[in-house]
Amino acid sequence: MTLFFFLLIAIVTVISAILVIVLRNPIHSALSLVLTFFSIAGLYILLNAQFIAAIQVIVYAGAIMVLFLFVIMLLNLEKEKRVSEKHPLQKAFGVSIALFLLGGIGSIVATGVLYGNMGTETAAKVSAVGNTKAIAGLLFTDWVLPFEITSILLIAAIVGAIVLTKKEL
Amino acid sequence: MPSDYFPVFVFLLIAVGFPVMIIALSSIVGPRKPSPEKLMPYECGVDPIGSARKRLSVKFYIVAMLFVVFDIEAIFLYPWAVIFKDLGVFGVVEMGLFIVILFVGLIYAWKKGVLEWE
């Protein structure tokens, strides 16, 4: 049953991710990116990471997408201005990188090392205390410095956005 | 367990399937008689002026950026609220520091007049 849902969600994820780069209208790309984010949240649920799944929907499919849409509307290329600029080396470059990545994935599949070592926090152990509580217990004790540094990162985002957009500071 | 989320999956299926069914039905059953007036973009009955694809003001972007930042702050408060009794004073201090740093950002935005819509 899990395999069925995994395959279903994985296929939706891959197809919507391909649509993001294939679709010509940037708004359509953004909408398929929303679908990609939602299906990744589904994959997180299958991995027993319910808290991360909720965050994925709230932050990525919600907040980050609002930001993306505003950027698209800021740039707002009208149809006649959407001329695709093609560099002569573009295609060769893209194909060689794709082949390189395919080789990397292929070598991992061929050597059969698809699974890493199991961590100490198993799904049964986490669900005994609760998903959010398990994350919180680690985040606010062992990982308190990265947590505090996150606030520096966020304040840098605020200051950066204001400095870039305000005419007179 | 992932199986607890099966109702959510069913809900999503219905939420997507219902509008798809309605739109498909109306496109099959409904008659189509297009005229220039009907194909015009609808703007509350007023004749549309200019292109609808206008550039948005960059002010919207700053508001969205502030929203993202404080959204993430709220996200961090959820797991903290679950265990703040176990953390005791340490928990209050670490979250206090986090909020104070972000509050400085809010004051900065405020002083720069971002929150005002000139």
Residues B75-103 have pLDDT tens digits of 999 999 999 888 889 999 999 999 999 99
- Output the CA–CA distances (angstroms, integers) from residue B12 to A6, B2, B26, B73, in the order listed: 16, 15, 22, 28
The pLDDT value given to residue B44: 80
- Whether A84 shows a pLDDT value over 70: the answer reads no
- Whether B58 shows a pLDDT value over 90: the answer reads no
Give me the residue spans of the domains in chain B: 2-111
Find where tokens 């698809």 sit.
Answer: A114
- Whether A78 shows a pLDDT value over 80: the answer reads no
Q: Which residue of A has its CA nearest to B56?
A: A74
Calculate mean pLDDT across residues A8-22: 95
CATH fold of B2-111, please?
A: Methane Monooxygenase Hydroxylase; Chain G, domain 1 (1.20.58)
Chain A partners of B83 at a C-beta cutoff of 8 Å?
133, 136-137, 140
Cβ-contact A67, B60 below 8 angstroms: no
- Whether A87 shows a pLDDT value over 80: the answer reads no
Alpha carbon of residue B2 to chain centroid: 26
Q: Do A154 and B105 touch (CB under 8 A)?
A: yes
- The model's confidence at residue B31, banded by pLDDT at 50, 70 and 90, is confident
The pLDDT value given to residue A134: 87
The pLDDT value given to residue A30: 92
Q: How far apart are CA A107 and CA A112, in angstroms?
A: 9
Cβ-contact A36, A20 below 8 angstroms: yes
Chain B touched by A110 (CB under 8 Å): no
The pLDDT value given to residue B72: 92
Instruction: Give ∠ CA B57-B59-B65 in degrees, rounded to 5.
Output: 125
- Whether B25 shows a pLDDT value over 90: the answer reads yes
**Using CA atoms in the order B29, B33, B35, B39, what is the torsion angle rounded to 10 degrees?**
10
Calculate mean pLDDT across residues A114-128: 78
Find where tokens 């509008």 sit.
Answer: B19
Calculate mean pLDDT across residues A138-162: 91
- Whether B52 shows a pLDDT value over 70: the answer reads no
Q: Which residue of A has its CA nearest to B79?
A: A136
Q: What is the CB-side half-sphere exposure of residue A71 using CA atoms within 13 A?
A: 11
- Whether A116 shows a pLDDT value over 60: the answer reads yes
Q: Do A165 and B54 touch (CB under 8 A)?
A: no
The pLDDT value given to residue B7: 92
Burial class of residue B99 in the structure, from the number of CB atoms within 10 Å of its CB (0-12 exposed, 13-18 middle, 19+ buried): middle
Q: Do A140 and B87 touch (CB under 8 A)?
A: yes
Closest CA to A83 of A23, A24, A20: A24
Chain B partners of A130 at a C-beta cutoff of 8 Å?
82
Rounded to two decimals, the pTM is: 0.81
Q: Which of A86-100, A149-163, B40-54 shows the lowest per-residue confidence on average (mean pLDDT)?
A: B40-54
Q: How far apart are CA A7 and CA A15, in angstroms?
A: 12
Selected residue of B58, B92, B111 to mutate for chain A interface (largest A Cβ count, 10 A): B58
- Whether A82 shows a pLDDT value over 60: the answer reads no
Compute and round to an integer the Cα radius of gyration of chain B: 24
